[in-house]
Structures are given as structure tokens and as C-alpha cells.
Amino acid sequence: YELLNEPHDKLNGEPFNALVADVLPIIRATNPTRSVIIGPTHWNSMSDLDQLKLPDDDRNIIVTFHFYNP
């Protein structure tokens, strides 16, 4: 699963981290080992990776980012 591709606008920083914190346990309730893809805000911007808050104990998260500069 990918939670949301290229989150942006008002879904930034803390609102997005709150969404991840709410949705990931729902997925894990029925899919405890399925890979889940999560990227930072601002269209999965690499520069926003440091704002992304993920659980330390979930080994099945794949972090993604998009880089559009040459």
C-alpha cells in the first residue's frame, strides 16, 4: 500500500504525521507485515524527509521521495 501519493497544500507537516499515526494502525490490524509506502509532504519532496515521523518499531515501511530537479 501507499498511504498517499504526493501529499501537499494543507496536508503538510503535523497534519500529515497525524494522518499516518491514525491510518497505519488500521492497516496493521489486518496486514501486520505488508509493506506500506510512505513519503514526505510537499509532493513527496526529499527536502521534507526530516519532518516525516514514522514508528520506530515497524520494519515494513518503505520510505519514498520524488526528486524532479536535474
Q: Give the tens place of pLDDT for each residue, 20-70.
A: 999 999 999 999 999 999 999 999 999 999 999 999 999 999 999 999 887
Q: Identify any residues that bridge with 38 across adjacent strands, giving them in sequence order.
A: 63
Answer whether residue 7 is part of any domain: no
pTM: 0.90
Q: Which three cell numbers stand for residue 36?
A: 506500506
**Domain-located, residue 47:** yes
The whole-angstrom separation of Cα 53 and Cα 30 is: 22
- Measured CA to CA, the distance from residue 50 to residue 58 in angstroms comes to 18
Give domain status of residue 30, yes or no: yes
If one counts the domains in the chain, the total is: 1
Nearest to 6 by CA among 35, 48, 34, 36: 48
Expressed as residue numbers, the domain containing 53 is 13-63
Where do the DSSP E strands lie in 1-56?
36-38
